[in-house]
């Protein structure tokens, strides 16, 4: 049986993703790559494998090598993440962060834009037009 070797690219992706996932799920890096089957660790591993899978340049076998499992386990993690994303808020929120579509950031950005318009030196008519534009952009 051939053992897959992790590429430099894969190692860089893992080193970039691992701290974020560990912080999100409040687990240590060592525990993430261990064989422990604690629910929180399993969820964290599913998340990490899903995040690495999103990078289409990494094959399943390499993701498995990076996360101490085989390609079938990676595929199972990806499928479980997709299922849990539909049922669990934590996974849904993480999915939104992975795809850079956090609703919270969007709302805070809109709020800051509104504040800028309201505190600007524009006439009242111009402020109303800007606010209408913002409203129509974010509908």
Q: What is the pTM of this model?
A: 0.68
In the prediction, which pLDDT does 55 show?
81
pLDDT tens digits in sequence order for the chain, 139 residues long:
456 788 899 999 999 889 888 988 899 999 998 889 999 999 999 999 999 998 888 999 999 999 999 999 999 999 999 999 889 888 888 888 777 643 444 566 777 778 888 888 889 898 888 888 877 776 6
56-73 in b/e form (b: 16+ CB < 10 A) is eebebbbbbbbbebeeeb
For the chain, give every domain's residue range: 8-98, 103-137
CATH topology of domain 8-98: Chromosomal Replication Initiator Protein Dnaa; Chain: A; (1.10.1750)
CA angle (67, 19, 81) in 5-degree steps: 55
Q: What pLDDT is stored for residue 128 in this prediction? A: 87
């Amino acid at each position: 049986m051939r053992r897959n070797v992790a590429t430099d690219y894969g190692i860089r992706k893992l080193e970039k993703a691992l701290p974020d996932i560990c912080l999100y799920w409040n687990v240590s890096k060592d525990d993430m790559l261990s064989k422990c089957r604690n629910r929180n660790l399993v969820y964290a591993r599913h998340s990490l494998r899903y995040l690495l899978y999103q990078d289409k340049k990494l094959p399943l076998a390499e993701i498995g090598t990076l996360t101490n499992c085989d390609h079938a386990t990676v595929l199972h993690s990806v499928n479980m993440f997709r299922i849990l994303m539909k049922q669990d808020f934590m996974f849904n929120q993480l999915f939104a962060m992975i795809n850079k579509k956090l609703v919270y950031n969007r709302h805070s950005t809109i709020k800051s834009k509104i504040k800028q318009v309201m505190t600007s030196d524009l006439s009242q008519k111009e402020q109303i037009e800007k606010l209408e534009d913002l409203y129509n952009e974010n509908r």
